[in-house]
Structure 1
Amino acid sequence: METVFIKGLGLIGSSLARAIRQDHPQIQIIASDVNEETLQYAKKNNIADRVVTDMTGVDQADYIILASPVSQIIKDIAALANLKLKSGVIITDVGSTKQTIMQAAKVLTQRNLTFIGGHPMAGSHKSGVQAGRADLIENAYYFLLPASESADTSKLTWLLAGTNAKWLKLTPSQHDKIVAQISHVPHIIAAELVNQTQQAFKDEPVGMRVAAGGFKSVTRIAASDPTMWSAILLNNKELILKQLTSYITGLENIGALIEKEDRSALFDFFKRAKVSRESLNTPARAPFYDLFLNIPDKSGEIARVTGMLAKHQLSIINIQILEVREDINGILQLVFNTEEARDQAARILEKDYEIVTR
């Protein structure tokens, strides 16, 4: 019987445990976390077979998954380098920065241990073991970074096959540049916008109460785990600082255009953004095909939509609500993996809902 040792049972660690349990019920899962309540929840809900607060049992593991904040992952790598581990063990992590982790992992490869850096590009504004889901990473990119040319990723992808992730190999520098721009900086911007808005409305509490769909959509990720994000920023600081400087320069340029009342330049600014943003919804993102429809703000409306599609055995790979305001229609985005499924869904739903072209 094979054994998996998971260090860290937050959102990602517990989601991987659930996916492994679902796809490989024969595998024993040992989970480690510093939070006793987290461990008891994991044991009670059959997320793990054994729970520990340290590295006890790691020597029995065929796979070791490090799923703590990045700073702790680096410490755990150093600890593993001094432990007797099982022959052939595969060690991986889920940290969202990679250059510092891959540098730290050299102490493992020097011992001829297999280390494969990993980062699932999925998450939630919720955190903790209770927020984990077996399908959290479904159809999301999962970056893999083997620490050596001889490292075979096939066993790891077999272990995590239940996530239904899309595997993509990158170099550490490629990875950190990409995530700094599309993940790390947006989290900073969202958090600062919330903090700034809270300060601006400190004497006008009604301001935060009336914040509608646009503000909530832009700032949703500001509700993410502060411990995790503090660690992430400090472990990718050079690229983040570089991109923040560029972003601030961009804002200053926009401020100058507003000051000059340069309507043409402002139009071009928004036009470029509109074209780029709309390109994310084109079939170039295949196999993703989006359908947008107006839905009223009524209890059970989303369940009605998904029920109608389920009757025709149509599978939705992602769903989200856009531009939500209380008591009026919102935009429901449904994502399908084939153009045929999207078009069939449109024919089914157009009788009861307005299909929106975006």
Structure 2
Amino acid sequence: MKILIIGLGLIGSSLAQAIKKGHPNYYLIGSDTNQASLKYAQSSSLVDETTTDFTTSAPRADVIILATPVQVIITDLQILAQLPLKPQVLITDVGSTKQQIMQAAQAVQKRGFTFIGGHPMAGSHRSGVAAGSVQLLENAFYFLVPEAASSRAVSQLKNLLCATHNQWLVVDSRQHDRIVGQISHLPHIMAAALVNQAQTELQDFPLGLKIAAGGFKSTTRIASSDPQMWTDILLTNNHLLITQLQDYIQKLIQIKKALQNQEPLEIKAFFTKARNTRQQLTKNPNKDFCLTLTITDGPEAIKNIVDILFSANLNLINIHISPIKQDNTSHLQLSFNNQTNLSKATNLLKAAGYQILGSD
């Protein structure tokens, strides 16, 4: 099977690695306008063939993955609609918004080609082809917007990306854009606005931003994202974002009034509601599939344990290590996505001589 990946950035590179891992016999073609990215992809065996012009390779592909910015995806769909593609070709994308992409996809669907919208909710502070990793997508939520696609096509795509070990979520395009608008797009606007406001407010105090502590840095970390990419994303989700922005502004006005009127109960309720909701996000959904063991030798022991689990193809969700005690030991907690993997891991680590303190 021939797979064409258009765009070898962070996500495109990660998907290439996942496909190679899950289907080593598949033939991967990487397309990008950046020659350095293509050179790296081929020298690192991420792909089997490279091209700067996907129109020459698309007719040979059984699956086409559009892993470029949203506006480029929309343009490329129009181009694909004019090409002599294979009748059974499956086309998908990884765009951060879906309504405009699904509308643009009608051009290929009218030709009888299958299109499934997609969006892996994964990212990194790094970018580019060298930053890609199979682990980037592990346990990440991966939206699928099949709409006119068959269940067989959806199964085909899931099988193609089986090595990502992600969590699939099937939604329609409006549901998708509403969700990511609220939890991703709006926070990016808020972070950028806060940084810009702080820069203006503190411009007469040179050390102002330099002494920013963890809270400010954590809240505004995403403000360092690519400006052009986020311009494209916001403009393709503008209608929903306008409504969400207005709702957010109203909440700011409410807390402003509470401050003006010296209303401690209103202010406390504001923070209490937020704290309770936020705490729900940090609850470990895998708490029933954890094991705890005693380790010595720190990093070396952790590496050995991970190697054991990796060799058994066990899906490790999370690792937590306690501070080292006076006897040079510490506790390592491992989380898994189901009871079967937990039981297998427990047996393997016991057989390797590790002391299991608890497993539930």
Same topology, TM > 0.5: yes
- What TM-score does the superposition give when structure 2 sets the normalisation length? 0.81
- What TM-score does the superposition give when structure 1 sets the normalisation length? 0.82
Distance in 2 between residues matched to 1:149 and 1:54, nearest whole Å? 27
Structure 2 partner of 1:48: 47
Equivalent runs, 1:54-73 vs 2, <5 Å? 54-55=53-54, 56-73=56-73
Q: 1:242 to 1:170 in 2, by over 3 A?
A: same
Q: 1:136 to 1:259 in 2, by over 3 A?
A: same
Structure 2 partner of 1:93: 93
Structure 2 partner of 1:128: 128
- Within the alignment, does 1:204 sit opposite 2:197 as a pair? no
Structure 2 partner of 1:108: 108
Structure 2 residues not aligned, in runs of 5+: 292-296, 322-331, 347-354
Distance in 1 between residues matched to 2:208 and 2:233, nearest whole Å? 31
The C-alpha deviation readout for 1:313-351, integer Å capped at 9, x for no partner, is 697424699xxxxxxxxxx9986536996xx9xxx999x
Task: Give the conservation status (yes or no) of the 8 Å contact 2:115–2:149.
Answer: no
Structure 1 partner of 2:11: 12
Q: Supply the AA of the counterpart residue of 2:163.
A: G
The C-alpha deviation readout for 1:1-34, integer Å capped at 9, x for no partner, is x111111111111111111112212111111111
**Range moving further from structure 2, 119-128 or 204-213:** 204-213
The C-alpha deviation readout for 1:263-301, integer Å capped at 9, x for no partner, is 111111110011111112335x4578799xxxxxxxxx9
**Range moving further from structure 2, 236-245 or 310-319:** 310-319
Q: Supply the AA of the counterpart residue of 2:167.
A: K
Q: 1:320 to 1:64 in 2, by over 3 A?
A: farther
Distance in 2 between residues matched to 1:307 and 1:211, nearest whole Å? 35
Task: Give the conservation status (yes or no) of the 8 Å contact 2:63–2:89.
Answer: yes
Q: Supply the AA of the counterpart residue of 2:175.
A: Q
Q: 1:147 to 1:129 in 2, by over 3 A?
A: same
Distance in 1 between residues matched to 2:298 and 2:103, nearest whole Å? 46
Q: Which has the larger radius of gyration?
A: 2
**How far did 1:199 drift?**
3.2
Distance in 2 between residues matched to 1:305 and 1:242, nearest whole Å? 51
Distance in 2 between residues matched to 1:154 and 1:87, nearest whole Å? 18
**How far did 1:136 drift?**
0.8
The C-alpha deviation readout for 1:113-172, integer Å capped at 9, x for no partner, is 110111111112322112211111111111111141535211111111111111111011
Structure 2 partner of 1:186: 187
Distance in 2 between residues matched to 1:263 and 1:77, nearest whole Å? 54
Partner-residue secondary structure (3-state), 1:253: helix
Q: Supply the AA of the counterpart residue of 2:247.
A: S
Distance in 1 between residues matched to 2:301 and 2:223, nearest whole Å? 29
Task: Give the conservation status (yes or no) of the 8 Å contact 1:309–1:315.
Answer: no
